[in-house]
Amino acid sequence: MTAGAGCGYHFSGGGRAFAPELHTIGVEALANDTREAGVEKRVALAIEREFAMRGPFHIASTPSEGDVVLSGTVRQAVDRPVAFNSKDEVLTYQTVLTLDLELRRHDTGALLWQAKGLRETGDFESVASVIVTTSSDFRSSTLNAEDLGAFTDIQLAESRRRQTIDRILQSLAHDVYDQIMEDF
């Protein structure tokens, strides 16, 4: 058995062992320092889903009922143009989400884990002509190649943006879970 890094947790037989009194996680409403309305709720929900799927913690019905509580702030949610055509029209955007998060014991307030500047990015196309319809990314989306011509560029960009944000949220939630579990 090897001692874990200062948390009172330890490795045991290759798996993680947590303090026996810690069974539930509560995810507080995150602060939103961005102009992206509702992104903080989507981030919190994605993290809750990740913990619900992968355990070992159960999701508390309210954050205050969690043995450990995750809180934080969405610091950045921006779209940046990254590819242009010869007329300087945007072909591709990059979405960037940046978070600051911390996990504390509810009973003592002890800081168990912290991540500042946790960042994830994803690109999306704003015009049909640059979409690679054979890519796994496109094929896993809800769009069909035959339907692309029916969308205006704005409709297409918004649809691709939503899908990109969904992927970013999944990836962020997965990373948060992995980092929390690795730190113990």
pLDDT in tens, the chain (184 residues): 333 333 343 333 334 456 778 899 999 999 999 999 999 999 999 999 999 999 889 999 999 999 999 999 999 999 999 999 999 999 999 999 999 999 999 999 999 999 999 999 999 988 877 766 676 777 677 776 677 777 788 898 898 899 999 999 999 999 999 999 986 6
**Which tens digits make up the pLDDT trace of 64-98?**
999 999 999 999 999 999 999 999 999 999 999 99
Domain limits of the chain?
10-182
Of 135, 143, 181, 130, residue with least CA distance to 16? 181
> What is the CATH code of the structural domain delimited by 10-182?
3.30.160.150
Single pTM value for the model: 0.81
- 3-state SS track over the chain: CCECCCCCCEEECCEEECCCCCCEEEECCCEECCCCCCHHHHHHHHHHHHHHHHCCCEECCCHHHCCEEEEEEEEEEEEEEEEECCCCCEEEEEEEEEEEEEEEECCCCCEEEEEEEEEEEEEEECCHHHCCCCCHHHHCCCCCHHHHHHCCHHHHHHHHHHHHHHHHHHHHHHHHHHHHHHCC
